[in-house]
Chains A and B, each alone.
Chain A
Amino acid sequence: NAGVTQTPKFQVLKTGQSMTLQCAQDMNHNSMYWYRQDPGMGLRLIYYSASEGTTDKGEVPNGYNVSRLNKREFSLRLESAAPSQTSVYFCASSEGRRGGETQYFGPGTRLLVL
C-alpha cells in the first residue's frame, strides 16, 4: 500500500496562475481532507470530504475549490494564486467512522506563489 500520495511535490506559480493539487489514497477510506501548514501555525483544514460525493468547507476555504473525483481521489484547485497561498499542503484520509479516528497524511506539496 502506498497510503496517501500527492502530486506535485513542489510547485512555483506566479500571482494569478491556477493549478490543481492531486491526492489519492489506496486504503479504501471514506473521508479525505486538505490542510495547509504555515510556520508556527500547525495544520489548518481547508476543505474536507466526509464521503464520496460530498465536500464541505473547513477553517480556511477562501481561494480554494475541491473535487472528490471518486472514492480514491480528492483534488484541490487554486483558481487565481496569491502570495498568501504560499504554504505546504497536505492531503489526509480516514475511515470516516464517527467518534474519533486517525487521519493518515500524504508527503505534502510545497507551493511558492511569487
Chain B
Amino acid sequence: GENVGLHLPTLSVQEGDNSIINCAYSNSASDYFIWYKQESGKGPQFIIDIRSNMDKRQGQRVTVLLNKTVKHLSLQIAATQPGDSAVYFCAENMFSGGYNKLIFGAGTRLAVHP
C-alpha cells in the first residue's frame, strides 16, 4: 500500500548493477523460505522460493542463497532494472498448528536509479 515501507531500510543501486538484499530469519525449524516483491499499491508477488535442504536456487535474473548456520537468506538480482524498484520481503514457513505459518520480515526497499 501507499504507506508500506515508511521506515524501511533502503538499498539504492544504479540500473544495470547487481543487487543483494539480505534477510535474517528467526526460527531454526522453518522448512521453506520465500521472497516476495511488493510494488506500491499492490499485493506481495511471489519471486522465488527455497527449501531448507538447499543452499542455493536460481531463477530468471534472481538467485536466493540460504545459510542455515547463521539463519540468513539473501536475494540477488542481476542487472537490476527500474521495474525492479519495490519493497522486498522474505518470509519463513513453518507448519504449525495445522497450517503453513508464514512469518514475514519487515522488508527492504530497492530503489533503482537510471
A contact set with B: CB distance below 8 Å? 4, 31, 37, 39-43, 45, 48, 50, 56, 88, 90, 94, 96-108, 110
Q: Is the CB of B43 within 8 A of A42?
A: no
Given contact pairs A39-B5, A100-B51, A100-B93, A106 touches B43 in the complex (Cβ within 8 A): yes
Across-interface contacts of A102 in B (CB, < 8 A): 34, 46, 49
Chain A to chain B contacts (Cβ below 8 Å), 17 pairs = A31-B100, A37-B1, A39-B5, A39-B7, A41-B106, A42-B89, A42-B107, A43-B44, A90-B44, A94-B100, A98-B100, A99-B32, A101-B100, A102-B46, A102-B49, A104-B46, A107-B42
Other-chain residue from B1, B6, B46, B49 in contact with A88 (beta carbon distance below 8 A)? B1
Q: Is the CB of A107 within 8 A of B43?
A: yes
B contact set with A: CB distance below 8 Å? 1-8, 31-32, 34, 36, 41-46, 49, 51, 89, 93, 95, 97-102, 104-107
The 7 closest A-B pairs by CB, nearest first: A100-B32, A88-B1, A105-B43, A42-B104, A39-B6, A40-B7, A50-B99
Given contact pairs A40-B7, A42-B104, A42-B106, A105 touches B32 in the complex (Cβ within 8 A): no
Dominant secondary structure at the A interface: loop
Q: Is the CB of B4 within 8 A of A88?
A: yes
The smallest beta-carbon distance between B23 and chain A, in angstroms, is 11
Chain A residue, CB-CB nearest to B50: A100
Chain B residue, CB-CB nearest to A49: B99
Q: Is the CB of B106 within 8 A of A40?
A: yes
Q: Is the CB of B95 within 8 A of A56?
A: no
